[in-house]
Structure 1
Amino acid sequence: MSDFVQCDSAVLVHFVMKLEDGSIAESTAENGKPALFRLGDNSLSDGMEEQLLGLRAGEKKSFSLAPDDAFGKISPDLIQYFSRRDFVAAGEPEIGAIMLFTAMDGSEMPGVIREISGDSITVDFNHPLSGQTVHFEVEVLEIDPNLEATNANTVS
C-alpha cells in the first residue's frame, strides 16, 4: 500500500461533481457509496488523474476541469438525425429523454432526444456533460484498498 496516489494506484474516494451553475451532477458522499478508480486504466480523464496524483489518504482537494480535461467538447459528429419511423417499436420519443441505441457492432449507446421536428428526430450521443466545465471536491479515503473488504461502487 502506497502513502500517496501514484500513476497506477487504485483509489477509493468520495467526490462531489458540480456544474457551473452550482448544481450537483453527482455526489458519492450524498448516496453514501464511495467510488473506486484505478489510475491508468482509461476510466478517468488525464486531467482528473493529474489532480489525484500525489494526494494522501484523508486528504481533500477542490479543483475544476475544463471540457477538454473532463468530458470533452461537444462533437457535431455525435449528433445524428433519425426518421420518426425508426422509433415505431420504441414508442413516441420525448425531448430530453435518454434512449439506448444499438450500434453496428452490437454495443448499446445512450442518446438524448434533442429535437423533434416533423418526421425528423435529432439524437445527441455526446456525453451529457460534454462542453461543460466541471467542479470537483474529492476526498481520498484509501489508496490501494483491500478490494475484498471494500463495499465500494466501481466506476468505469
Structure 2
Amino acid sequence: MVMYYQVKFEDGIYYICSKSRINKTTTSISVRYTGGAWYSATIIASNTEDRTFLVKRVGHKQHSCYFCKKVLFQLPRHWFKIHFREPEVREIKGLHQQNFQRRKKINDLRKKGDFEYNQLSVDRENIVMRNSNMADRKLVLAPHAWGMRGKNFEH
C-alpha cells in the first residue's frame, strides 16, 4: 500500500504527497514539491489501511477554565455564556473586541486557569504555554508568568 501524507508548508499551502517525496531528519521535515525543490513543512495527516486520513489537530489546544476547571477549546465563548456574572468576565465583555486590554485580560485569565490546572494535575498531562518538539521536555513552574515553561526558556 502506498503511504500518502498531507503536509502544510510554511507559507500556508497544503499538499498531498507520497512517502517517497518526504525527507525526515531528527530536527525537521522537508518535502520535494512539484519543481523538484525541497521545502520545510509540517505533516498534518497520513492515510491508514482503509485509505482515509487520520487528521491531527494542529494549532488548536485546550485550556482550563479559571472558574469551573473544565478543559475547553473556546474559552472566551464559554466564559461569556456560562460565567457572565463573574466580575472579570463582565470587565472583559465591556471592552471592544479589538481592544488590546481585552486581549491582555483574556490571556491573563486563560493563563491563570491553566496554571491552577497544572498545580492540581497529578496524573494528567500539563497544559504548557508553548509546545516543544522535544519528546521528553522538562517543565518548570513559572508563577510570574502564570504557566509552565520549558526548563531552558529564558525571558
Could you say which TM-score interval applies, normalised by the shorter chain?
under 0.3
**With structure 1 as the length reference, what TM-score do the two structures score?**
0.22
Give the structure with higher Rg (CA).
Answer: 2
- More helix per residue: 1 or 2? 2
**With structure 2 as the length reference, what TM-score do the two structures score?**
0.22
Higher relative contact order (CA 8 A, sep 6+): 1
